[in-house]
Amino acid sequence: MAAKHIFVLDNGGFNIKAGFANNSEPRVMPNAVMKAKSERRRPFIGDQLDECRDVSGLYYILPVQKGYLINWDTQKDVWDYLMGKDCFNVHINTMSLVLTQPYLNFQSVQEGLCEYWFEEMECESLLTINPGTLSAYKYGKENPSELCCLVVDCGYSFTHLIPYVQGKKITEFVHRIEIGGKMLTNHLKDIISYRQLNVMDETYVINQLKEDTCFVSTDFNGDMAIAQKKAKENPYVVDYVLPDFTTIRRGYMRPKDEAGSGEQVIRMNNERFAVPELLFHPSDIGIQQMGISEAIVYVIEQFPSEVQYHLYKNVLLIGGSCSLPNFKERVEKDVRTMAPAECEVRINLASNPVTDAWRGGCVLTKDPQFSSQLVTRREYEEHGFSLCLQRFDV
Amino acid sequence: MNSSQRESARQKDANSRRVLDEAARRRRARKALEALEQDNFHDDPHANLVLSKKIPKFEESLDGKQTRRRKSKNFEIFKQRFRKSFAQLLEEEQMNRPEPPNYVSAQVPPSKFPERHFCAVCGFICNYTCLSCGARYCSVKCLGTHQDTRCLKWTA
């Protein structure tokens, strides 16, 4: 099967990563329909948002809730746009589709997906799979000597830990932490609105603020002490210039001693690392769950000791929230202190955590076994959803 | 003078203060968490928009319109069948897959480490708890801000 006849679609809760299997880069766009205050004429689908001049007060309609596909209407709008003439112009009825879906996806959603793609869109053949499985497959290809892999998928809706032993997902040990990028952005929005300026409506801007200024602390208590110092000897204080969408299109970070000329700024201090800290201590906002590092150790400890050794040295971080600076260093430091001393701890951050699963999907299509994983439309018409349930490992 | 009529300002203050009980505090905390799950804080900016019928609609072409309508009929039926809220999905899942691994069993357990507390006002590590509502604060200054702005006024 030629790679140009395979379309890989990583359907994330916030970003869609999509492209033909022979593309070198996926197209990344919001998996949402958005409405702007400034543009009353039309909603923006996916990356049509680039055409919007003023994104203040952007209103999101997301197809995915808590990580699971709920709003089919919106999802269809986004997919139609993606597959249509304006984007990829996919002739889906002669195509194979590799589609990701969340870990332990609800059966009803799985059934809906299969029915949608086979009956509505009449696609030639379909494979639905977890993003972590794609990344783990790619990792296995790149490191053929490694036997196991623990994928930590820290995305928008939640974080999952998925252990793979010899390429096989161990479903009973898949774990979920209910913290993701959305929680961080909303929490940041909350505290800024209380302390400085009401930005409750500005999810889009604050998400950029988070991506531009936040980082993961590797010594939380030490950094807290530093942040408590006066602005002069405090390296963490920065001013973030907010966009006004006339002269400033996008917010940016300005060193604290540089004088501005009347732009609206938000002064960031301990927020910069206290917000990402939620990933490592969800209990800070009252979510009684383990943080990422503790959960990594918890998941690995459920395996027999000879497997543990392999898992500790093959932890793979994927998902958008892993792009926060120092994320890997923090996980490494934490896991090292908790892991048995004789185990080697190696944390790998995907070169591009957002698109890694998509890339894994492209690598998978070159596998000689790939076509046997697919369900063709003819098979679906013959056996129905039960075959998909059997063949797809979700 | 009768001693029972004497009043202590401090005691009176303490008695008149409304103190939230444990249940109310938990309810507040849950509401705050639910707020963190929201996609938008504000309402749809186009909700009350009345589109003038005179505005020409450029995008629709005749044949494009027809195929769209044909598809959308099937899709309507499809949508009806799969329209389920998250709560419904979760309930259905518990019927279908009562044995682990499922959605509920995949959740990580609570942390072994003690909870840390941060000042609700400035975000630094703190030692004190507001008597009325249970929020944390680090200094008299922050307590003042808290009482002026959030304590018992806060509706998250």
pLDDT, tens only, A171-214: 999 999 999 999 999 999 999 999 999 999 999 999 999 999 99
3-state helix, strand, coil in chain A (%, to 5): 40, 20, 40
The pLDDT of A63-70, averaged and rounded, is 94
The two structure tokens encoding residue B147: 């009482």
Q: Does any CB of chain B come closer than 8 Å to the CB of residue A288?
A: yes
Is the Cβ–Cβ distance between A334 and A328 less than 8 Å? no
The pLDDT value given to residue B156: 42
> Which of A28, A9, A1, A34 lies closest to A90, judged by CA?
A9
- What phi and psi, each to the nearest 5 degrees, are found at residue A70? -120, -45
- B34 touching A, CB under 8 A? no
Q: B142 by DSSP, 3-state: which?
A: helix
User: Confidence class of residue A370 from pLDDT cuts 50, 70 and 90?
Assistant: very high
Q: Do residues A35 and B44 touch, judged by C-beta distance below 8 A?
A: yes
Higher per-residue pLDDT: A4 or B25: B25
Cβ-Cβ contacts under 8 Å for A27 (sequence gap 6 or more)? A17, A18, A19, A47, A87, A88
In SS3 terms, B32-71 reads as HHHHHCCCCCCCCCCCCCCCCCCCCCCCCCHHHHHHHHHH
To the nearest 10°, report the CA torsion of B71, B76, B78, B81.
180
Query: A148 and A371 in contact (C-beta within 8 Å)?
Result: no
- The encoded tokens of residue A68 equal 């699971």
**Is some CB atom of chain A closer than 8 A to the CB atom of B32?**
yes
* SS3 (DSSP) at A120: helix
pTM: 0.91
Q: Once rounded to an integer, what is the mean pLDDT over residues A88-101?
A: 93
Give the pLDDT band (50/70/90) at residue B64: very low
ipTM of the complex: 0.84
> What residues of A are in contact with residue B123 (Cβ under 8 Å)?
191, 195, 270-271, 274
- Which chain B residues are within 8 Å of A175, Cβ to Cβ? 106-108
pLDDT of residue B151: 84
Which one-letter DSSP state was computed for residue A249? S
Query: Does the CB of A334 have a partner CB in chain B at under 8 Å?
Result: no
Distance CA A295, CA A162 (A): 11
Q: Which positions in chain B touch A172 (Cβ < 8 Å)?
A: 100-101
Per residue in A268-283, pLDDT (tens digit) is 999 999 999 999 999 9
In the stretch 88-117 of chain B, residues with CB closer than 8 A to chain A read 89-90, 92-93, 96-97, 100-103, 106-113, 115-116
Does A59 contact B42 at a Cβ distance shorter than 8 Å?
Answer: yes
Q: Determine the pLDDT at residue B63.
A: 47
Query: Contact at 8 Å (CB) between A210 and A275?
Result: yes
Q: What is the mean pLDDT of chain B?
A: 81
Decide if A267 contacts A235 (C-beta within 8 A).
Answer: no
DSSP state of A301: T
Distance of alpha carbon A112 from alpha carbon A266, whole angstroms: 44
> Quick check: A223 and A217 in contact, CB under 8 A?
yes
Question: Nearest-CA residue of chain A relative to B29?
Answer: A286
